[in-house]
């Protein structure tokens, strides 16, 4: 088994007005990422962006429908959030979502009991906070990533500092010898089964 160092870049809260620019960067670098979509952001005009994500080899995953705090939701509402988003993704681009990221990484036993997908967190670039500089986003990611890591970033509306940080993050990780894969690929290629009850993953080996 080849011991290539792997990292999975992931992006939350799209599709948005910056998602195409994130894809431009990934395409230019010939790498893939994983996009955790908010169901209510999936509008007809974003369909082409989702198709482009898949055409570039990227993965689409589930980040709830309304992006509320799901730790305060009932079982029924939680299942509705998940199913509506998975159904809409399937209806729009024909793929099944395999992974879930909880909004705000807010967790509850009810969520674990009712969401039948592996939960993903990832090393936090803090790029959801507008006061985090582009360089700080780069430094946080490069300091945290190890073999098997998932990285948490956001292709949320107007998040231009991440567009500035992303090429530097990619260059820095390449320099450290990392190859870039999707969330599914990082588990599959490392031979790790992500279906572990009551677990949220930031690195496939932790
Ligand atoms: Zn989010």
Strand, coil or helix: 124: strand
- Find the 129 Cα to ligand 1 centroid distance in Å: 12
- Find the 36 Cα to ligand 1 centroid distance in Å: 8
Which residue blocks in the chain are alpha helix, DSSP H? 19-29, 47-55, 75-93, 109-114, 134-144, 160-175, 183-190
Neighbours of ion ligand 1 (CB under 5 A): 12-13, 103
Summarised one tens digit per residue, pLDDT across range 46-69 is 999 999 999 999 999 999 999 999
**Packed helices 160-175 and 19-29: angle between N→C axes, nearest 10 degrees:** 20
What's the angle, vertex CA 139, arms to CA 23 and CA 50, rounded to 5? 15
- Find the 34 Cα to ligand 1 centroid distance in Å: 13
What's the angle, vertex CA 38, arms to CA 32 and CA 40, rounded to 5? 135
Report the pLDDT averaged over residues 133-141. Answer: 98
- Find the 3 Cα to ligand 1 centroid distance in Å: 32
Summarised one tens digit per residue, pLDDT across range 149-164 is 999 999 999 999 999 9
The per-residue pLDDT for 140 is 97
- Find the 67 Cα to ligand 1 centroid distance in Å: 6
- Total number of residues shown for the chain: 206
- Find the 198 Cα to ligand 1 centroid distance in Å: 20
All structural domains of the chain: 5-201 (3.20.20.370)
Q: Do the beta carbons of residue 193 and residue 187 sit within 8 Å?
A: yes
Report the pLDDT averaged over residues 114-135. Answer: 97
Summarised one tens digit per residue, pLDDT across range 173-197 is 999 999 999 999 999 999 999 999 9
Summarised one tens digit per residue, pLDDT across range 69-109 is 999 999 999 999 999 999 999 999 999 999 999 999 999 99
The per-residue pLDDT for 13 is 98
């Amino acid at each position: 088994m080849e011991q290539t160092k792997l990292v999975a870049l992931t992006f939350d809260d799209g599709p948005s007005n910056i998602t195409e620019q994130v894809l431009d960067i990934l395409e230019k670098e010939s790498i893939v990422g994983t996009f955790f979509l908010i169901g209510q952001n999936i509008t007809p005009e974003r369909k082409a962006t989702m198709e482009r994500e898949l055409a570039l080899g990227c993965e689409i995953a589930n980040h709830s429908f309304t992006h509320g705090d799901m730790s305060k939701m009932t079982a029924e509402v939680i299942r509705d959030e998940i199913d509506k988003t998975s159904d809409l993704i399937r209806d729009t681009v024909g793929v099944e979502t395999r992974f879930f990221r909880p909004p705000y990484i807010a967790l509850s036993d009810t969520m674990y009991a009712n969401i039948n997908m592996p939960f993903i967190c990832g090393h936090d670039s803090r790029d959801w906070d507008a006061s985090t500089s582009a360089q700080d986003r780069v430094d946080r990611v490069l300091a945290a990533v190890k073999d098997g890591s998932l990285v948490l970033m956001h292709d949320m509306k107007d998040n231009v500092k991440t567009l500035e940080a992303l090429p530097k993050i990619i260059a820095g990780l390449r320099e450290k010898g990392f190859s870039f894969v999707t969330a599914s690929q990082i588990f599959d290629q490392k031979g790790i089964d992500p279906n572990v009850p009551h677990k949220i993953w930031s690195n496939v080996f932790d």
